[in-house]
Structure 1
Amino acid sequence: MRAEDPAAAEVRELLDRHLTFTRENSPPDECYALDENGLDAADVFVFGLRDEGELLGIGALKRIGTRHAELKSMHTAEAARGRGIGRAMLEQLVAWAGASGYSRISLETGAAQAFEPARRLYESVGFRNCEPFGNYVRSPHSVYMTRQL
């Protein structure tokens, strides 16, 4: 896992696929995925997972409190799915957050069936359902999860 520039062409390409997926499976006013501009902020840390230089997955952490981070923009390239890239990225993001002094990571993901694989992945590494956090409000279209570190 390494830090990535959200403005880099290959990062933007994978991010665009992520945004397309979330927009296709979420109501327009409840799509919380960050675009390139949202990821290019001082409180957001963008990472990529590569194999021989090829970008296979992205993920980001957004600082939402002194010791609380939000998981954002997790996405695996379609050609790399089924190889454990998402799990590897998630485990490395959790490890980075812990090493960086965070004690909790939370996330918002879709409640639609299309998001079920993501929810299962998050559960498998210790995330549990929780109440809305930060500026989120309860919605039938969202699932909120958190994990203590």
Structure 2
Amino acid sequence: MISIDRDSPSRDDVRLLLSEHLADMYATSPAESVHALDHSALTAPSITFWTAREDGSLLGCGALKLLASPTGPSMHGEIKSMRTTATARGRGVATLMLGHILEDARTRNLECVYVETGTEDYFAPARRLYARHGFTECPPFADYVLDPNSIFMELRLQRPTPGT
């Protein structure tokens, strides 16, 4: 059974997966267009980090970064560091992780969740995953700027109706 739990990005197996993720990002995108975070950046207080594991074996990871708001508490978040291991690909781990992150965002009453991903063919599976879950293209958000190597996507979250 696959379980998704809060975890430390500093664990050895997670650091290895995140290093692989960064290496792939730099191999497929110009350096100025790489927005992936290393394990130390993922320990920031504004970031919640999870791993997916089966019988203790790492299958993937993902994070939710709360975006700063100049007018008060953050009502928006950004998905960061979504990655599955090579052996876990095609098993639905990314779908499970995305669902977990979105449920956490809803629990926090976030209004919108954003993601930045690449335009290259390498990123097509990620773009399809987000689109299948209702994400649509949007302008750059937070500190991002227009970049021909980036696609920005958003998902407006439904607020629960009182009494439901």
Asked if TM exceeds 0.5, the reply is yes
TM-score by length of 1: 0.97
Deviation of 1:33 after TM superposition, in Å, equals 0.2
User: How is 1:14-53 mapped onto 2 (pairs within 5 angstroms)?
Assistant: 14-53=17-56
**Cα offset for 1:53?**
1.0
Sequence identity, in percent?
A: 39
Q: Within 5 Å, which residues of 2 pair with 1:38-117?
A: 38-65=41-68, 66-117=74-125
Match of 1:69, SS state, is strand
Aligned to 1:148: 156
| Aligned equivalents of 2:40, 2:10: Cα separation in 1 | 8
TM superposition shift of 1:42: 0.4
* Bigger CA radius of gyration: 2
Give the RMSD, CA atoms, in angstroms: 0.8
User: Which segment is superposed worse, 14-23 or 75-84?
Assistant: 14-23
In the alignment, residue 30 of structure 1 is paired with which amino acid?
A: S
Looking at structure 1, the residues matched to 41 and 120 of structure 2 have their Cα atoms a distance apart, in angstroms, of 24
Cα displacement (A) at 1:143: 0.2
| Structure 1 residue matching 2:17: 3-state secondary structure | helix
The letter of the residue matching 2:123 is: F
Aligned residues, how many? 149
- 2: CA distance, partners of 1:61 / 1:92: 10
Which secondary structure state, in structure 2, belongs to the residue aligned with residue 145 of structure 1?
Answer: strand
List, as ranges, runs of 4+ consecutive aligned residues in structure 1 with deviation greater than 4 Å: none
How far apart are the structure 1 equivalents of 2:109 and 2:56? Answer: 29
Alpha-carbon deviations, 1:20-71, whole Å to 9, x = none?
A: 1111111011100000121010001110111111110100011104110000
- Gaps of at least 5 residues in structure 2 are 69-73, 158-164
